[in-house]
């Protein structure tokens, strides 16, 4: 499951990279923390600017193992620009989240096994994109994932204009 998810995220970024759209596509990486997962997350991000008010965004986050459980999320969000200045952009976001978890155990002579978990939820939050150069910007997001055992996800990262 992990390999398929990573492959899908990589394919998404390759598709974004092959599109030639001036300053409409940003790709990058982020680090974050989720309250319910209680682990550091490493993310891959992509943003497509539709117009001056709306953007579409997707991200894949892999959380470092916590209590023998590995978590991953794939998010697809719409951004609505609330403040759009020359150097900074503040936006509200809403979208879908796919949360996946897996647990493997080995009890020696008593056997081994694994289990997996997946749920779909809704994202609601806000973020900022601060332009450092024509090609590079910093991003920060805080979103609440409405799902069974919902959680707050806080991330910061770097985006590169293609």
The most confident of the ranges 16-20, 34-38, 90-94 is 90-94
* Top-confidence residue, 83 or 65: 83
CB 143 within 8 A of CB 123: yes
Give long-range contacts, CB 8 A cutoff, 24+ apart: 11-18.
12/46, 12/58, 12/60, 13/44, 13/46, 16/46, 16/48, 16/162, 17/162
Give domain limits for the chain.
Answer: 2-161
User: What is residue 66's predicted lDDT score, i.e. its pLDDT?
Assistant: 75
User: What is residue 2's predicted lDDT score, i.e. its pLDDT?
Assistant: 53
- Confidence grade of residue 1 (pLDDT, cut at 50, 70, 90): low
- Confidence grade of residue 18 (pLDDT, cut at 50, 70, 90): very low
User: What is residue 12's predicted lDDT score, i.e. its pLDDT?
Assistant: 52
Mean pLDDT of 34-60: 93
Lowest mean pLDDT among 9-13, 57-61, 88-92: 9-13
- The CATH code that applies to domain 2-161 is 2.40.160.20
This prediction has a pTM of: 0.80
pLDDT in tens, 121-160: 999 999 999 999 999 999 999 999 999 888 999 999 999 9
Percent of the chain with pLDDT over 70: 86
For the chain, helix, strand, coil in percent to 5 are 10, 70, 20
pLDDT in tens, 85-108: 889 999 999 999 999 999 888 788
């Amino acid at each position: 499951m992990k390999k398929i998810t990573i492959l899908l995220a990589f394919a998404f970024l390759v598709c974004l990279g092959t599109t030639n759209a001036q300053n409409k596509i940003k790709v990058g990486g982020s680090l974050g923390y989720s309250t319910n997962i209680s682990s550091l997350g490493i993310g891959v991000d992509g943003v497509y600017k539709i117009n001056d008010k709306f953007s579409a965004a997707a991200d894949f986050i892999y959380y470092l193992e916590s209590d023998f459980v590995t978590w991953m999320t794939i998010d697809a969000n719409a951004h609505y620009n609330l403040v759009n200045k020359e150097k900074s952009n503040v936006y509200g976001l809403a979208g879908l989240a796919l949360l996946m978890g897996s647990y493997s155990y080995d009890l020696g002579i008593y056997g081994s096994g694994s289990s997996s978990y997946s749920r779909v939820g809704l994202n609601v939050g806000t973020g900022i994109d601060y332009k450092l150069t024509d090609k590079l910007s910093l991003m920060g997001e805080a979103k609440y994932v409405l799902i069974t055992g919902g959680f707050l996800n806080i991330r910061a990262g770097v985006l590169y204009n293609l």
